[in-house]
Amino acid sequence: MQLPDWWQTDPCQRFTLGPREIPGRIWTASGCFGYGLSGHDISSPEFASPYDGIGAVVTKTVTPQPRAGNPMPRLAELPCGALNSIGLQNVGIDHFVSEVLPELERLGVPTIVSLAATRPDEFGEMTRRLHAVAGRYDHWHGVELNLSCPNVAEGGHDFGRSAETVAACVAAARPHLPDRCLLAKLTPNVGEIAPLAHAAVAAGADAIAAINTVIGLEVDLASGQPLLPRRFGGYSGPAILPIALAKVDEIVCEVGAAVVGIGGIATSEDALKFFALGAVAVQVGTAQLRDPFATAEIARELSR
């Protein structure tokens, strides 16, 4: 592709985010590359592995206790994206810090750990345990607080709609991450996202991750009922790109915070739109589910 004249940044070079140097600006979004343990044994004619050029893998979200996730079906591909109601299926913080995180360090995966909880004090306890185990790890760079998952009954999307709650969650985690970056991932399912971003930054967040999925519903015409057992799910993919750009622009212009842009990125052109608005990094989500090399391809094209 022909890069625009204003683009002068190599996204595969290290950059500073809060107290941490991150290996690059093109990341995979939470849940879209598992925990970062898969794909190390595959290659393509153009890439030695799907991790080539990737600045960080944001892990599948981890919760205080293991979760089995929501009943099937919980993922539906739609014409312009995907609707999911995974329900935060994960191994829980105990297994993650004892088994998963050490393996990520051994493999050299640049890692941002995604965490979700239903109370602020749980975020504090999980970040404390992470740092106690991995405080000397070279490849664990920070935490992304998932304050906006729209498909969990406990807390759900309403959990992250309150500026006070966002601030409390960030404030609980911040003291336990003195040398790692802390991101707050915010919901787009609000009229204005800037007040939430203000609250997160004031409480100590180094950056805002925006956006999470948009609440959506699909109908199964054979039964006349919602396709997903929990009715609603999180809608992602190309259709939400303009929504994500609008929310990122609102945060950059009204808050002035560092923003990691997420939502509908499938090509290098999509990523450039976020950078044009002032994002410091981007995350590739749904496109990574279709092509494990999607993020590596975007990083390569923007490095030319």
CB 64 within 8 A of CB 97: no
| Residue 169 annotated in active site | no
Q: CB under 8 Å to 79, separation ≥6 — which residues?
A: none
Report the greatest alpha carbon distance in the chain. 55
Residues 103, 105, 108, 112, CA torsion sign: positive
Residue keyed to tokens 């941490």? 20
Exactly one of 149, 169, 181, 253 is catalytic; name it.
149
DSSP per-residue codes, 30-91: TTSSTTS-SSTT---SS-SSTTTT-SEEEPPPB-SS-B--PPSP-EEEETTEEEE-----B-
Residue 219: strand, helix, or coil = strand
Token pair in block for residue 173:
């985690």
Q: Among 51, 55, 53, which residue's Cα sits nearest to residue 25?
A: 55
Query: Which amino acids are annotated catalytic?
Result: 149
